[in-house]
Amino acid sequence: MIKTIKDLDLKGKRVLIRVDFNVPMKDGKITNDNRIVAALPTIKYVIEQGGKVILFSHLGKVKTEEDKKTKTLKPVAERLSQLLGKEVLFVPATRGEKLENAIANLKEGEVLLFENTRFEKGETKNDPELGKYWASLGDVFINDAFGTAHRNHASNVGIAQHLPSAAGFLIEKEVKFIGGAVDNPERPLVAILGGAKVSDKIGVIENLIEKADKILVGGGMMFTFLKALGKNIGKSLVEDDKVELAKSLIEKAGDKLILPVDTVAAKEFKNDTEFRVVSVDEIADDEMGLDIGPATVELFTKELKDAKTVVWNGPMGVFEMENFAKGTMGICEAIAKLENATTIIGGGDSAAAAMQLGYADKFTHISTGGGASLEYLEGKTLPGIACLEK
């Protein structure tokens, strides 16, 4: 069990909140503020409780002094201020007297954001002095940055060692849904796995083969499995050094594992090209499979019908191209029809696919953590969450 924000007394306290404000930027402008919006419930709660809000986050990768000019959180403070309808004091420092004075002057319910945590070299090394210093700026610590929960950094794990610490609402939700689905699912648990490569997902596949009642495999990775069964896969995406692994996974999973029966194949990797639906036994040498076919959508839909929990990672095809998005869309459709199931989608591109295809509100939970979601689905302990354990 982890401690959550409601377990802490916040009134009058200096509340350090590690948020994920790692938003996409172009020419100093925020191009998508989803992550700021997602942090609002935790921030508003602390304001309502009469805490003094001290926010911090990383933004991008900081390698050179030049990077510091473009990776400032100042535009984020402005956007956050608009969203909250409240002044957000931005302090362009990560330590020192200015920051300490600003915090000392902070009143209950006021909000401060300090500069990009990665301006400090010790951040990504979890330098113990840095974590201790940041902890000294507050009375309690809330971690709500799920996107970096798989990292062992000073601004999450380091601080937590020195203060009463708890999860914010975002992390609490991820733990409830992904943690719940992987550790204690209502059954049957059906896992859907796809995406580009087997090698990216070995941990996820192995963990879910253990835990799930059924595994449906699509996406680029299906061809390594089909090759393991001795099928001709033409020019499809394949990892020859993973064919043996795929063989052993097929053996281990037995009846649990369901592979596609047809694919949408083309001669070129582009949207505007001829394509055809073909059985997985009849892929021509000069063709590549870019999506699962309609018979596979039907087969997977049948397997999903009685599911009580669904965990999906990895698109079923090259959903970025309209002609090869139908498989992913078909599976979204099948999931949308489930009435009494907890449905979870995780992975950067998978979440993007669900949103782009207009199914975002059909899932119980869309995990937006990217790398963190994947490691969580692999059953790994995430250091940014483990440090919040009671």
Catalytic residues: 35, 197, 348, 371
Instruction: Evaluate whether 189 touches 307 at the Cβ level (below 8 Å).
Output: yes
330 annotated ligand binder = no
Alpha-carbon dihedral 311, 315, 317, 319, rounded to 10 degrees: 140
Considering CB distances under 5 to 8 angstroms, the limit depending on partner class, which of Mg ion, ligand ADP, none binds residue 253? none
- Measured at the alpha carbon of residue 139, what is the angle toward residues 134 and 144, in degrees to the nearest 5? 70
Alpha-carbon dihedral 105, 56, 19, 375, rounded to 10 degrees: -150
- Measured at the alpha carbon of residue 303, what is the angle toward residues 300 and 304, in degrees to the nearest 5? 90
Contacts (CB under 6 A) with ligand ADP, residues 227-246: 237
Q: Is 354 in the site for ligand ADP (CB under 6 A)?
A: no
Minimum distance between the CB of residue 196 and Mg ion, rounded to whole angstroms?
Answer: 7
Locate all alpha helices (DSSP H) within the chain, ordered by sequence: 34-48, 67-70, 74-84, 97-104, 128-136, 159-160, 169-174, 180-183, 198-211, 222-228, 243-253, 294-304, 326-336, 348-356, 371-377, 383-386
Minimum distance between the CB of residue 148 and ligand ADP, rounded to whole angstroms?
Answer: 17
Minimum distance between the CB of residue 374 and Mg ion, rounded to whole angstroms?
Answer: 9
Alpha-carbon dihedral 377, 317, 190, 249, rounded to 10 degrees: -70
How far apart, in whole angstroms, are the C-alpha atoms of residue 139 and residue 283? 63
Contacts (CB under 6 A) with ligand ADP, residues 12-31: none
Query: Which region, judged by CB under 6 A, interacts with ligand ADP, from 54-62, 153-161, 185-193, 342-350?
Result: 342-350
Q: Smaller CB distance to ligand ADP: residue 241 or 389?
A: 241
Instruction: Evaluate whether 59 touches 116 at the Cβ level (below 8 Å).
Output: yes
Q: Which residue among 33, 78, 320, 333 contacts ligand ADP (CB under 6 A)?
A: 320
Considering CB distances under 5 to 8 angstroms, the limit depending on partner class, which of ligand ADP, Mg ion, none binds residue 315? ligand ADP
Q: Is 347 in the site for ligand ADP (CB under 6 A)?
A: yes
Contacts (CB under 6 A) with ligand ADP, residues 237-296: 237, 289-290
Task: Give the annotated binding-site residues.
Answer: 20-22, 35, 58-61, 118, 151, 201, 289, 320, 347-350
Q: Which residues are annotated as a binding site for (2R)-3-phosphoglycerate?
A: 35, 118, 151
Binding-site annotation, residues for substrate: 20-22, 35, 58-61, 118, 151
